[in-house]
Structure 1
Amino acid sequence: MIERRVVYLMKGTSEGRTDEVFNRAGYPDHQKQISPLVRAGILCVKQFPLDYMHLVCLGAMKRLLTYLWRGPVICRLSKAQREQVQMNISTLKQALPAEFSRQPRSMEDLDRWKATELRQFMLYTGPLILKDVLSNDQYHHFLCLSVGMSILLDESDEKRESYLGYAHNILEHFVDGSVDFYGPTFPTYNIHSIKHLSDDAANFHSSLNDISCFPFENHLQVIKKLVRSGKQPLVQVTKRLAERQCTERHARRSQSTTKLTAKMPDNCVFLMDNAVGFIQEKRSDGTLRMDVFRETDCDSLFEKPCNSKLFNIMLVSSDLTMAKRILINRESIYKKAVCLPYKQGYAILPLLHKPE
């Protein structure tokens, strides 16, 4: 695979650009004059966030998988490794909960994977699929991207902001180490820009989910469904949207809620004390009968670049008789979990995105 791309081979942290210098055209290498946006009071450095859907999912994650599947010899998987990856993917089909619009697809379809599928691999399935396939060092390098993005996508402001510095460090390590594992053609502008994602989370005091293109991408499905024929599609969409705006029923559309059932894969949750619960029965009085594994009863999925239990990624036994059966109120649930089959048990990961 031969590419002609601008690459960024410099390692480490360079001095960041600031609005103070930008506002006076203090970067003559690319500024000819003061931008009209500056005169309008817009901060051109801090107020233009990077979109992780395009930058990381469709950019870095797809590039990494492409290099593993058919890239340079330095990183291309062997035939046996590719077969193992395909086998690992097949064991996860139909295992993802209702918040995922697509189940894992074959790597042979990689060119047609959507952004949600690449996010799915990066945050949920990839740490299982690539474990024991890649070398330890290369696997830990991938986990730097997975864990770093998990931190920046966490909805808990307190937890996310307390680990922002760590997320920045491991994402920087991912970018700087990419040349060693994937060769000098790998670190393009997309890869380099990952270093700045933690700055956006800090500047906007929010999860990257709140400043990404995913909501707009998902809304395109709604717009497409308004078109009934090939004749004047724009007129059809405009009329249907106008009708919705004029009706109170559509103006007050209910928000989507998390789906919880007493059957897998939609019965796994985290409780407020980080215990893992499997809902067995939803009772008429609103309480839930649940089998619970305490955090101390769970194992870590990985130890590097950090202990996975630090971010609620853990392994539990498939033998639910080892769990403690309790009754709880729904208010005791912290968040829904993704429960995936792994060896003789389950890998439990926090759900970090809204329904697709």
Structure 2
Amino acid sequence: MKKCSVSKRHFNRVIKNQLNNLECSAQSVLNQTHFVESSVVNYVEVGANINASSSDIISNNSEISSSIPLLHNYIDNENDKYINTDHLLIDSVVNIQNDKISISNSSSSSDEETFSNVLANNIQKSSESTENIFQELHKWSIEYKINHNALKSLLTILRKTLTFKTLPKDPRTFLMTPKITLLRTVTPGLYNHFGILNSLNNIFKNEVSVPSIIKVSINIDGLPLSKSSSSQLYPILGIVKNYKPLDNIVFPIGIYHGNEKPSCFNNFLEDFVTEAIGLYNKDITVCGKKTRFEIQMLLFDAVAKASVLQIKGHSGYSSCSKCTAEGEYLNGRMCFPDITFIERTDNDFKNQTDENHHVGQTILTRIPGLNLVSDVPLDYMHLILLGVMKKLLVGTWIFGKPPHKLPSRIIDEMSTQLISLKSYIPCEFSRKPRSLKEAKRFKATEFRLFLLYLGPIVLKGILDSTKYDHFITLHYAISILVSNKAFECQYVDYAEQLLKHFVVSCRLIYNEEFMIHNIHNLLHISNDVRKYGPLDVFSNFPFENFLGQLKKLVRKSSDVLPQIVRRLSEIQHLSYENFNKNNTHILTTSEFELLKIKQTNNILAEHCFGPQFEELIFPMYKLTLAINNRCCKLKCNTIIEIFSFGYESQSKLPIVIGKKYLNVIDFFKKPNHSSLIGIHFVSELNQYD
């Protein structure tokens, strides 16, 4: 086989001349071709049939034309469709060695066959690569909420290159935005029904399996769109609770928009109820797999619950959804000073035995198997965090009235202490502590941080012993009910006793006016934990996160519902996983990942070796060398402070290198030892262990 060697400079000059000749003589539509020059791909446009040999394509006028194998695209001139070959590899026919390019002259049939195979494979790979780029661009535009005008400008720029010539001109075509939005009038606004089955097919489309029964939690809540208008949404949302990979993925079932809430909630719920009835008690097909559908629970706050279930609101005498206790008005507020009650049953609700509790008949009773007392748990987020905890902190201690209001000097001291703890809050917490002057604007997560973690520290020595012990009773009970201890009956029973003691003490420490609807419902929430598990299993947190994202889809004040429907339809073509903010990949318990190799050489313990690392990521949390993430409790109950991560000599597995605390005692002992719920007071670090 004859070979010739030319310099890169001469090769480029020859190629340039060859291109000029080809451009003059080409009779068909130009296609994209790649040459390799010092590992840089240059573009050559030729028109030729993909089955033609290289010797037929190259003009004989060029001095080295017979020895240059050109890669080209096939064009179907009838349909004017391009097959993208952006990443064709020609290393097998053109070899670059140092500063010289060695070009092999081959015309054998075996070489032509090899060339055709390589070309076909590269066309397929190139097509897949371009498709992936389109998907990534689609995902990017959704994730960063790129408006259509900006996206159209980007598409116009990209279409100027042959690589992206097939991109649509219009962003609505690219995002597959629906042309028609089907809306139904629900006085005084409009409603769109996405559908239960349609949404289930969408969220399961990337899953390898589908559970034999799909248990869905349903949430309905009002969402004001702005402070300057009465425009509001009432979405019907769902979440699959019995399938771990999707148990944080919220999907829309229907959305109402209007300047007032629906005047008739039965009309608002009609599409949802009709579809739910059709899905019950029969096999349904989700992503080609047979399964069954079940509504596990309905989640509302107190206001939405009253509207949807057609019962008295929280200011009514017979407003409790769990018992028949009647309240009484004290200084303009409905209170429940009596702690004795008779529990409501599902049959009581269905038959409306308590006429004072109902204001109408909800069509939710038509859904088979759905119980409107036991299947409607109390919401921990609204009841305890935005209800009881806010009542104590904001309405009593910070902005309340004497004698329970704390002095301004004490409040400032508490604020200073809270802010000083900011650097010690682990990265898993979404919000850091801030001044109590902002307490009226605290979010539910901030009240949770105070109730479960910071309150026992900050309030110690601030409140008198009676009020402090009273707060710790609530803290201890809720700490049990949010933990895995909620799966054990004896702990739930104990938490129920603590909550009962807390409610009774509210009347003694504060007054009967403190016994509002939320305080009363603390007596019932333990039963919901017995049925469903820890409080976070049936909290509204995932839905609230979705509502926040939903609000951001509105780009102008007119045609609000069509906007939202179109944006959600664009998202559907990807997955709602890209829309749910909480969606992060959860590793299995056997997986972990080491990051950020530490450059400094810390002291290694015996039987350990490097390299050393700064972070160790586990399924639900991570450990680092930062001050807020380096303290942890081992399975043997030893508490350590981490100084490095390395490897164990024999097993080669990653290990934690740190010092343990020698003195570990309870932070408080009333109503029980704090160590039982994982709270310790530690001191005196030992050497490496």
Q: By the TM > 0.5 criterion, same fold?
A: yes
1:308 aligns with 2:661: no
Query: 2:469–2:670: 8 Å Cα contact kept in structure 1?
Result: yes
2:417 maps to which residue? 88
Which of 585, 606, 610 is equivalent to 1:255?
585
SS in 2 for 1:265: coil
With over 3 angstroms needed to count, the CA separation of the structure-2 counterparts of 1:131 and 1:19, relative to structure 1, is same
| Equivalent-residue separation in structure 1 for 2:575 and 2:411 (angstroms) | 53
The residue that corresponds to 1:215 in the other structure is 542
Residue 573 of structure 2 aligns to which amino acid in structure 1?
A: C
1:167 aligns with 2:495: yes
- Whole-angstrom CA distance in 2 between matches of 1:110 and 1:226: 29
Q: Secondary structure of 1:72's match?
A: coil
Cα 1:236–1:278, aligned 2, differ >3 Å: closer, same or farther?
farther
Instruction: From the superposition, tell whether residues 70 and 248 of structure 1 become closer, same or farther in structure 2 (CA, over 3 Å).
Output: closer
Q: Which moved more, 1:283-292 or 1:85-94?
A: 283-292
- Structure 1 residues 237 and 175, CA gap change in structure 2 (3 angstroms): same
Task: Tell me whether 1:15 sits opposite 2:342 in the alignment.
Answer: yes
Tell me how far 1:216 sits from its aligned partner. Answer: 1.3
1:32–1:249 Cα change, 3 Å: closer
Q: Tell me whether 125-134 or 214-223 shows the greater mean CA deviation.
A: 214-223
- Once residues 576 and 487 of structure 2 are traced to their aligned partners in structure 1, the CA distance between those partners, rounded to angstroms, is 37
Q: How far 1:22 sits from its partner (Å)?
A: 3.9
| Residues in 2 aligned to 1:59 and 1:255: alpha-carbon distance in whole angstroms | 32
**Cα distance in structure 2, aligned partners of 1:154 and 1:251:** 29
The residue correspondences of 1:322-341 to structure 2 (distance < 5 A) are 322=686, 325-326=688-689
Tell me the CA shift for residue 145 of structure 1: 1.0
User: Conserved in 2, the CA contact under 8 Å of 1:24 and 1:34?
Assistant: no
The structural deviation recorded for 1:192 is 0.7
| Matched residue SS, 2:654 | coil
Out of 254, 270, 290, the position equivalent to 2:658 is 290
Q: Which has the higher helix share?
A: 1
Matches of 1:97 and 1:218, distance apart in 2: 21
Which one of the candidate residues 452, 457, 465 is aligned to 1:128? 457
For residue 334 of structure 2, give the secondary structure of its aligned residue in structure 1. Answer: coil
2:436 alignment partner in structure 1: 107
1:279 aligned to which of 642, 645, 648: 642
SS class of match (1:315): strand
Q: 2 CA distance for matches of 1:254 and 1:314?
A: 31
Q: Is the 8 A contact 1:263 1:280 kept in 2?
A: no
Equivalent-residue separation in structure 2 for 1:70 and 1:241 (angstroms): 41
Which of the pair has the greater relative contact order for Cα pairs under 8 Å at 6+ separation? 1
In 1: Cα distance, 2:364 partner to 2:548 partner:
33
Aligned equivalents of 2:546, 2:331: Cα separation in 1: 34
Change (3 A) 1:290 1:239: farther
2:521 counterpart of 1:193: yes
| Cα contact 2:416–2:435 (8 A) shared by 1 | no
Aligned to 1:349: none
Q: Normalised by the size of structure 1, how large is the TM-score?
A: 0.79
1:238 deviates by: 4.2
Work out which of the two has the higher radius of gyration on C-alpha atoms and give 1 or 2: 2
Verify: 1:75 aligned to 2:404, yes or no.
Answer: yes
Q: Counterparts of 1:268 and 1:207 in 2: how far apart (Å)? A: 25
How far, CA to CA, are the matches of 1:34 and 1:266 in structure 2? 53
Contact 1:25 1:33 in 2 (8 A): no
* 1:263 partner amino acid: A
Structure-2 change in CA distance of 1:25 and 1:222 (3 Å) = closer
Bigger strand fraction: 2
1:122-161 counterparts in 2 under 5 A? 122-159=451-488, 161=489
Q: Tell me which amino acid in the other structure corresponds to 1:171.
A: L
CA displacement, residues 161-210 of structure 1 (integer Å, 9 cap, x when unaligned): 33001101111111111122222321110111111111110122x11101
* Corresponding letter in the other structure for 2:585: Q
Amino acid across the alignment from 1:260:
L
| The 10-residue stretch of structure 1 (267-276 or 253-262) with the greater mean CA deviation from structure 2 | 253-262
Deviation, 1:233, is 6.4
- Aligned-partner residue type, residue 287 of structure 1: I
The equivalent residue for 1:299 is 665
Name the Cα RMSD after superposition.
2.9
Q: Secondary structure at the match of 1:163?
A: helix
| Amino acid in the other structure paired with 2:668 | F
Task: Name the TM-score, length of structure 2 as normaliser.
Answer: 0.42
User: Share of identical aligned residues, percent?
Assistant: 34
Counterpart secondary structure, 1:298: strand
Are the aligned partners of 1:68 and 1:75 in contact in 2 as well (CA < 8 Å)? yes
CA distance in 1, matches of 2:385, 2:405: 20
SS at match of 1:280: strand
Residues 26, 245 of structure 1: alpha-carbon distance in 2 compared, 3 angstrom cutoff: same
| Distance change >3 Å, CA 261–CA 65, structure 1 → 2 | same
1:344 alignment partner in structure 2: none
Judged with a 3 Å threshold, the aligned counterparts in structure 2 of structure 1 residues 96 and 32 are, in CA distance, closer, same or farther, namely closer
Matches within 5 A, 1:39-54: 40=367, 41-54=369-382
Contact 1:68 1:77 in 2 (8 A): yes
How far apart in 1 are the matches of 2:554 and 2:350? Answer: 45
Per-residue CA deviations over 1:278-328 (Å, capped at 9, x if unaligned) read: 22212264222233347xx311111111111111111111x42x3x634xx
- Structure 2 distance, partners of 1:80, 1:33, is 51
Query: In structure 1, how many angstroms separate the alpha carbons of the residues matched to 2:516 and 2:391?
Result: 10
Q: How many residues align?
A: 317
Partners of 2:445 and 2:427 in 1: CA distance:
13
Q: Which amino acid aligns with 1:27?
A: D
Contact kept? 2:646, 2:654, Cα under 8 Å: yes
2: CA distance, partners of 1:178 / 1:303: 21
2:72 paired residue number: none
- Tell me the CA shift for residue 237 of structure 1: 4.8
Name the residue aligned to 2:59: none
Match of 1:353 in 2: none
